[in-house]
Structure 1
């Protein structure tokens, strides 16, 4: 089986990245911090998924995005391909609209990233933004 997911790297003016902490009950990524995003639904393209997931999870409106990188992983016999985007949003306000899935939402600085999932792509986005 092959699945595609998207992730959004959203930086503020202080170059902090917006991350979600998944509940321990989540099968994929439970208990881990990760960028917002989700899995493609039937008939969607990755960009549609990105915009939909940010609205559903955080009530954020996307203004622009660019592909930052791609990750491939195998989990329980499923081949996952993740498309990571550097995303600009309408404003920096957000709210956790899915507390049953995400126990916390926070802005994280580069110094706090070393042992986090997806840290390599997040650091790449921070360098690309020119605010490091």
Structure 2
């Protein structure tokens, strides 16, 4: 059996000590109405950081600076599809978000709000890789 590997780039975008989270559109095929961090798929030929900046601009209408790699992990969405997830710490001076059709809502969330909104898998990754301990967060 031949499987497919998809590289997904995600950002912990921080502005004034809070992290940007987005609520997926209610009509989305995957995790409709679920909360997530900004990001998306790497397209063939793209540089990782360039792709991440593009995805955030498309989804949230803001420009970010990529500060550093936070963590990478992998998981299967089904037996024939593996996701390689690469997460970066990013910052922005642009608090005004303009959502694409992919998302219905956004929040600049505190650490305690992240636990209320994000799914357990993301909370687990954030805990395991020290995201909640970042000095930039309130």
Tell me if both proteins adopt one fold, taking TM over 0.5 as the criterion.
yes
Q: Deviations over 1:17-76 (max 9, x none)?
A: 100000132223322111000001111122121010111111222223211011211113
Q: What is the SS of the residue equivalent to 2:115?
A: coil
Query: Normalising by structure 1, what TM-score?
Result: 0.84
1:127 equivalenced with 2:133 (yes/no) = yes
The runs of 4+ residues in structure 1 deviating greater than 3 Å are 120-123
1:113 equivalenced with 2:114 (yes/no) = yes
Match for residue 25 of structure 1 among 24, 27, 38: 27
Q: Deviations over 1:107-126 (max 9, x none)?
A: 11111222523124446334
Match for residue 42 of structure 1 among 41, 44, 63: 44
How far the C-alpha of 1:130 sits from its partner, in A, is 4.7
**RMSD over aligned Cα, in angstroms?**
1.9
Tell me the distance in 2 between the aligned counterparts of 1:29 and 1:129: 30
Q: What is the SS of the residue equivalent to 1:114?
A: helix
Tell me the distance in 2 between the aligned counterparts of 1:131 and 1:107: 11
Match for residue 5 of structure 2 among 2, 11, 15: 2
Does the aligned pair in 1 maintain the 2:14–2:137 contact within 8 Å?
no
Tell me the distance in 2 between the aligned counterparts of 1:130 and 1:63: 14
The aligned length equals 129
Match for residue 85 of structure 2 among 66, 74, 82: 82
Query: Normalising by structure 2, what TM-score?
Result: 0.81
Query: What stretches of structure 2 of length at least 5 have no aligned partner?
Result: none
Change (3 A) 1:63 1:113: closer
